[in-house]
Structure 1
């Protein structure tokens, strides 16, 4: 993609915004963009990430009604079609049946998680997701979550689930397993399925639920093995901004230095790695090299002319404007980490943005990645307190950078698991 001068965005008057990873229910409720299904009429402005009503898509909000007068005359009138009726999405949570809990995969959350949050995440991934009855959330085709069920202390002790995850949703999904046993390369999944990995729909749903669990600080209990997976909710550090607007590297670099406070940020093209020092030559080696140079003699005339021509072409290229279709910026963050901002055009949007009308045109991806200064220790089960503190500091810097990008170019902020991240608007007084 070749950026044009009129594509550069500069919004000095706009207030800076920073991503805030708060309740998904709050994020969806405050979303500024329309996620309306393109098959609906233009008058429909509902957001499928927040709707929990039963409705029939593709129909208008009004239809023709008929009135019969006392003299028998029939007249027509516009009247609302009573097809969208609010339903209760869940019922009071009863204690789960222990036998049923052992027979099915369980999606575990705390009491603070609203069922609407599960629906919003499900709709982010599956077109057909939605409530089909109170306490029944369809995910994809034959897969659905049933709940929530309460996990009292004796039940949690029997199932081996964390004390903080007191609600459970039962996953009803066809079971399909690979014939070969899982191996260590599959990591935690191998522990959860020692007899054979799930395949097909079951694997896709479980993988998606694992991402949902990380977003909601929840977990899963796997049927059969009883293995409990609780992903680290703080491990999702990286953020990506998707926007229809391009900003030139020099403009983004200036904004990051002067407005976001990343004074040491540089264009990656200006970072020259230190060349390794060559070992010192011994006197015998130096003498041998000088002898070889003397024996080479004069350079052939045709070779000399080619070298001169190549130099002329290189000098001419330096005077031409460079066409940039992607670039990267680097900055130190935290105490000993780095942050990279990679910018380029992408052909398709992430699935959560499939309803955004602007994605029919140019889509620019601004990926903000954390580069930890020290690699995690192989085989280490948990991070040290120092490493967690470094990650927390780096997360704050990543959020600040993504917020600045969103302020400059608009668009949407997406986390590592492909879900929307809400932006908390900062008042001009706080920004000053």
Structure 2
């Protein structure tokens, strides 16, 4: 049975002595308040319900207060007055603006269109970017300073597997080639240009310093000769012809998404298997509404990205995250 919601207030209350911005997150009727809470926790770890949504005596759901930081809170859900039959969360945060958008730059999230006089900075920047990401994930809409931004849910197809399992290049290539035989090792390597010019010359060292330097060098050489070669990262390429290229980048990472905090295997870092799409025209990735040809190529590339990500996850386990660092279930790929 659908839940009856309170009407959206004309103005949200602001914090005392603080200049506030009022933004909206509009989602479908099927979206539960707990889903919004989980997405907020994925970006703001101190998120908590100060007042959870609760049914009133008249059977109408009383809006809750979800606080993401000391100065930012979401109130809702309220009834949508846009005729969509959905719900609205009102977001109050500090109004913090910087410079106008750079002329001619990309605007894939529509922020330049929403804030032509000055882009949000600091707390408001973090909140606004989360709002757009949440709207994309929930197939909803963000209303930023009265400007409607409806991000395309299919615009971001890159995925990352975080795991505590390291795959050697041969193993990763075998997994990827099981998905698509066209996968190859990424070309790489550069010719050495010689030592930097600022290095100390041996002629500048006295006998004692030179002996110490040679002894240290010998220790390094012995360690290098008696230890297996350490590989810190590598990449695979899957060429898609006119649809561009899918790149799989494998490396260790210490800075992990907030959503992975508290997982014992991710304590101190993890191995990241980044699967991303590189179109022929890279600039089109930064367009809020890219051309039809780009969207068609992106749709086909998304299939390869999902299959590669799923195959890697089946082997190494761990968690899958999208470009917004929201977790993705393996069954949803």
Identify the TM-score tier after normalising by the shorter chain. 0.7 to 0.9
Is the CA contact 1:244–1:361 (under 8 Å) kept in the aligned structure 2? no
Match of 1:327 in 2: 234
Q: Offset at 1:207?
A: 1.7
- Is 1:233–2:153 an aligned residue pair? yes
Indicate which of 129, 133, 138 corresponds to 1:211: 133
How far off is 1:196 after superposition? 3.0
Q: Contact 1:334–1:394 (CA<8 Å) still a contact in 2? A: no
Equivalents in 1 of 2:315, 2:69: separation in Å?
Answer: 37
Q: Taking structure 1 as reference, are residues 118 and 363 closer, same or farther at Cα in structure 2, changes over 3 Å only? A: same
Q: CA deviation at 1:203?
A: 2.2
Contact 2:160 2:273 in 1 (8 A): yes
Is 1:342 the equivalent of 2:218? no
Q: State the 1:412 CA deviation.
A: 0.7
Q: Kindly provide the CA deviation profile for residues 10-44 of structure 1, in whole angstroms up to 9, marking residues without a partner as x.
A: xxxxxxxxxxxxxxxxxxxxxxxxxxxxxxxxxxx
Q: Which runs of 5+ in 2 are unaligned?
A: 14-20, 54-63, 191-223
Quick one: distance in 2 between partners of 1:127 and 1:215?
18
- The CA deviation string for residues 237-286 of structure 1, in whole angstroms up to 9 with x for no partner, is 1001111110111111112223x2x11111114899xxxxxxxxxxxxxx
The offset of 1:418, in angstroms, is 0.6
Q: Is 1:249 aligned with 2:169?
A: yes
1:145 aligns with 2:63: no
Say which of 93, 100, 104 aligns to 1:173. 93
Counterpart position of 1:111: 29
- Asked if structure 2 preserves the Cα contact closer than 8 Å seen for 1:332 and 1:339, the reply is yes
User: Partners in 2 of 1:150 and 1:383 — Cα distance?
Assistant: 32
TM-score, length of structure 1 as denominator length: 0.57
What is the DSSP-based 3-state SS (H/G/I as helix, E as strand, rest coil) of the residue aligned with 2:259? helix
Question: Aligned-pair distance for 1:423?
Answer: 1.0
User: What's the TM-score once normalised by structure 2's chain length?
Assistant: 0.73
Work out the CA distance in 1 between the residues paired with 2:293 and 2:152: 16
Report if aligned partners of 1:334, 1:390 keep a CA contact under 8 Å in 2.
no
Q: CA deviation at 1:375?
A: 4.0
* Equivalence map 1:11-410=2 (5 Å): 92-98=4-10, 104-133=22-51, 134=53, 135-152=64-81, 156=82, 164=84, 166-178=86-98, 180-184=99-103, 185=105, 187=107, 188-223=110-145, 226-258=146-178, 260=179, 262-269=180-187, 322-333=229-240, 336-361=243-268, 363-375=270-282, 382-410=289-317
1 CA distance for matches of 2:276 and 2:329? 18
Quote the offset at 1:124 in angstroms: 1.2
Q: Deviations over 1:210-230 (max 9, x none)?
A: 21111112221123xx21111
**Structure 2: distance between partners of 1:270 and 1:197:** 38
Larger radius of gyration: 1
Q: 1:126 is paired with a residue of what secondary structure? A: coil
In structure 2, what is the Cα distance between the partners aligned to 1:177 and 1:338? 37
SS state at 1:424 partner: helix
Q: Please tell me whether the aligned partners of residues 243 and 298 of structure 2 are also in contact (alpha carbons under 8 angstroms).
A: no
Structure 1 position 383, deviation (Å): 3.2
Structure-1 separation of matches of 2:28 and 2:314: 33
CA spacing shift, 1:177–1:252, aligned 2, 3 Å: closer
In 2: Cα distance, 1:256 partner to 1:378 partner = 25
Query: C-alpha separation between the residues in 2 aligned to 1:121 and 1:254?
Result: 35
- The CA deviation at 1:396 is 1.3
Task: Figure out how many residues of one structure are paired with residues of the other and give that number.
Answer: 276
